[in-house]
Structure 1
Amino acid sequence: MHLARTFGIAVALTGALTAVTACGSGEKPSPSSTKSSGSPAATTPSTTPAGSAALGDYTYLLIQASDVGHNFTAVGPPTQDPGGGAGAGQNFGSPDHTRTISDTIYVSIDPTVALQSESDRLSAFPKYVATPPEPFEIGTNGWMGVGKSPDKSKAVTYLVFAEGRAVVAMEFDSALDDPVMQEFVLDVARKQDGAVKSRLLF
């Protein structure tokens, strides 16, 4: 009788110890489970450029192929958030694919930031056209370079200008011996400037 009671007590103590141990391990999650409970967004650095407006759908700021004229058509769907910042872009092409237009709009938090961003883009001109840019009067602080591509494979007209809190960058490409007429470039640029001016709310 004494032995049986002793054995029963030992079994009970062993069971209680096992239960306590199991409960203790459940109350102390592993380091990996603790990390996974946090929010990844809170620790992941943002890739949105400084001064960019809130990301969203800005494709309504873009001109359409009908605005370009000369039977140009849109090449693919419009893109959103170029370079990770707020804005939109669209490519256009002629029927014979000998002429293309790249139209990109970047939206900033305010006009001051946009103007600074537009000025910063002057350093990028050599990537698109070998000729130094000259000022032109569309939007604010407009600059345009007309000449050959750096690799001399095509004729290029590249321009940038600010309009309010937006920056517009446009590239007109054509055959090396058939540059795009400046009147056509300015007409398309004015239409894009007008679209931004009338559609981008401040």
Structure 2
Amino acid sequence: MGSMAAVWSEGDAVGRAVALLLLAMSITAWVLIFWKAWTLRRARTDISRGVAAFWQAPDVDAAQRRLAGLDREEVLAPLLDAAIAQPAGGTLEAAGQRESQLTRRLRDALHAVVQRLQFGQVALASIGATAPFVGLFGTVWGIYHALVGISTSGSVGIDKVAGPVGEALIMTAAGLAVAIPAVLAYNAFGRLVGGCEAELEGFAHDLRELQLGRRAHEA
């Protein structure tokens, strides 16, 4: 903590800007980590409970009412809404075959849900990829700033060099400390989103078969 205080007090505007940027990146990463961990956990639970409740319902209307109380993250309801929706008359969508209409609506709904689940992934990947370089830039600039100060002072010794250079290296460590949690979280959340997407694809496929079977029976 004292070293960081020294880096801040002895640094110039560029060094302080790098430190503030790393701090902002760290705060953003941890906010995203906690938020996505909470939402993805809820989504996995919603999918598991909601799909089971849906297929235990006596009809689609009852299943829709059951999902309203279980689908907190709204990952299943958009698929069901797409399955039972009717296209407006006089449109190109209504002119297509019913099977194609249903497939397109379910595909679009699935993509929208997955995009919501993936929100924040790009930010985590960007922080994980750039934070080490931001920290390295801070280190290089700090070393340059320290060497300029030493040259102007006129006295050169190992103690005069080691202190400022060691403090400048803290910026590299700070960049790694920001990047490592972001990269680990990105990989973990990617697996969770992939699992949710696979389950949602299966649910969308089953909804399609259910609706096509109902229409064939009604015909």
Whose helix proportion is higher, 1 or 2? 2
- TM > 0.5: no
TM-score, structure 2 normalization: 0.25
TM-score by length of 1: 0.26
Whichever structure has more strand as a proportion of its residues is: 1
Larger radius of gyration: 1
Q: Return the structure number with greater relative CO, CA threshold 8 A, min gap 6.
A: 2
